[in-house]
Amino acid sequence: MTTNAFIPQTSYQETRFLSFWHKQNILYPLIPQYEIPHHSGKFSYYADFAHLESRTIIEIDGDAYHTSPEQVQRDQRRQRYIESRGWTVIRYTASEVRNDPVRTVYKARRAIERNAYALRTR
């Protein structure tokens, strides 16, 4: 259980990504704003989307929010932590979702399929 009361918000591009995900009739369920508790118990990370079976995290990086050097360092630290917990993190920019949502969804689906296959064949 975490001690903070942070409630994650879904961005417009995350909503757009999920809408195109459903329009493509993809059967892999995605959990939005998936909570990944930190081992300290003091806080949690929230992934934009998680596919549990393949242990895949999908992150949609906002155009403005992820450009400062400090934010890039926080994102890298966060990603390393999530990967250390056995997840594969794939990232897309908000402009990828905005400019070519169908291709972005296709790439995410393929990543989930690869990860699920890799886990099954271990």
Q: Where are the domains of the chain?
A: 12-120
Q: Is 12-120 CATH 3.40.960.10? A: yes
- Give the three-class secondary structure for 68: coil
64: its two tokens: 């403005």
Contact 33/18 with Cβ under 8 angstroms? no
Question: Mind listing the pLDDT tens digit of every residue in the chain (122 residues)?
Answer: 444 455 567 889 999 999 999 999 999 999 999 999 999 999 999 999 999 999 999 999 987 766 788 888 999 999 999 999 999 999 999 999 999 999 999 999 999 999 999 999 98
User: Which residues lie below 8 Å from residue 85, measured CB to CB, with a gap of 6+?
Assistant: 36
Q: How far is CA 106 from CA 103, 111, 122, in A?
A: 5, 9, 25
Best CA proximity match to 108, nearest among 96, 98, 122, 121 = 96
pTM of the entire structure?
0.88
Distance between CA atoms of 119 and 5, rounded to whole angstroms?
Answer: 34
Contact 57/88 with Cβ under 8 angstroms? yes
